[in-house]
Amino acid sequence: MVIELDISWKEEVFDYHPNSRAWVYQSNRLLSDAECSALESELTQFVAHWTAHGSQLTAKAMVLYNRFVVLVADESRTAASGCSIDASVHFLQKMEAQFDIQLFDRTQVAFVNANGQIETIHFTKVKSALQSGALSATSLIFNNSIATKAALTEQWLIPLEASWLKKYL
Q: Among the three residues 53, 69, 99, which one is the final residue of a domain in this structure? A: 99
Residues 77 and 135 in one domain: no
Residues 85 and 25 in one domain: yes
Residue 28: its pLDDT value, please? Answer: 97
Question: Backbone phi, then psi, for 27, in 5-degree steps?
Answer: -75, 145
Q: Among the three residues 99, 118, 137, which one is the final residue of a domain in this structure? A: 99
Residues 42 and 89 in one domain: yes
Q: Among the three residues 82, 99, 116, which one is the final residue of a domain in this structure? A: 99
Q: Nearest CA to 108 among 93, 92, 91, 125?
A: 125
Residues 155 and 78 in one domain: no
Q: Is the predicted pLDDT of residue 3 greater than 80, yes or no? A: no
Band (4; pLDDT cuts 50, 70, 90): low
Q: Residues of 34-68 as b/e, b for ≥16 C-beta within 10 angstroms?
A: ebbebbeebbeebbeebebeeeebbbbbbbbbbbb
DSSP one-letter code for 164 = G
Q: Is the predicted pLDDT of residue 2 greater than 60, yes or no? A: no
Q: Is the predicted pLDDT of residue 147 greater than 80, yes or no? A: yes
* 1, part of any domain: no
Residues 59 and 126 in one domain: no
Number of domains in the chain: 2
| Choice between 3 and 121, residue whose per-residue pLDDT is larger | 121
- The mean predicted confidence, pLDDT, of the chain is 94
pTM of the predicted protein model: 0.92
* 114, part of any domain: yes
Distance CA 35, CA 54 (A): 31
Q: Is the predicted pLDDT of residue 21 greater than 70, yes or no? A: yes
Q: Is the predicted pLDDT of residue 5 greater than 90, yes or no? A: no
Residues 89 and 113 in one domain: no
Residues 48 and 114 in one domain: no
Distance CA 3, CA 9 (A): 14
Domain that holds residue 131: 108-168
- 8 Å CB contact between 17 and 80: no
Residue 140: its pLDDT value, please? Answer: 95
DSSP one-letter code for 163 = S
